[in-house]
Amino acid sequence: QSALTQPPSASGSPGQSVTISCTGTSSDVGGYNYVSWYQQHPGKAPKLMIYEVSKRPSGVPDRFSGSKSGNTASLTVSGLQAEDEADYYCSSYAGSNNSLFGTGTKVTVL
């Protein structure tokens, strides 16, 4: 049970786009469409941003989008805003009643 791999950091200027990758294996990310993404601001609980690879919960801006290719999932934040500065984590079902999180990515708005 190894954590999914994410880049430690990503950044962009306001209005630009940033894409975060989440790499696993065929036993987790590549094997299921239950990939989700969470946003966490300092001192706060995580918040669901994307579920089932590319679906957005109500209330989440359409600037947030998700996709998957093979064993790698991605989260794209378009039109970056100051409030998007946070830590982002991916998660995937890993079979046999187990779930995995990614290592986390700190997004900085320059």
- Give the footprint of another protein on this chain (CB under 8 A): 1, 3, 32, 34, 36, 38, 40, 45-48, 51-52, 57, 89, 91, 93, 96-104
| DSSP code, position 83 | G
Q: How far is the CB of 86 from another protein (least distance, A)?
A: 13
Using a 10 angstrom Cβ sphere, with 0-12 exposed, 13-18 middle and 19 or more buried, the burial of residue 44 is exposed
Q: How far is the CB of 15 from another protein (least distance, A)?
A: 28
Residue number, 32 or 72, with CB nearest to another protein: 32
Distances (CA, A) of 52 to 16, 33, 85, 108: 25, 5, 23, 25
CA 89, CA 63: separation in Å to the nearest integer? 17
Residue number, 13 or 97, with CB nearest to another protein: 97
Residue number, 1 or 13, with CB nearest to another protein: 1
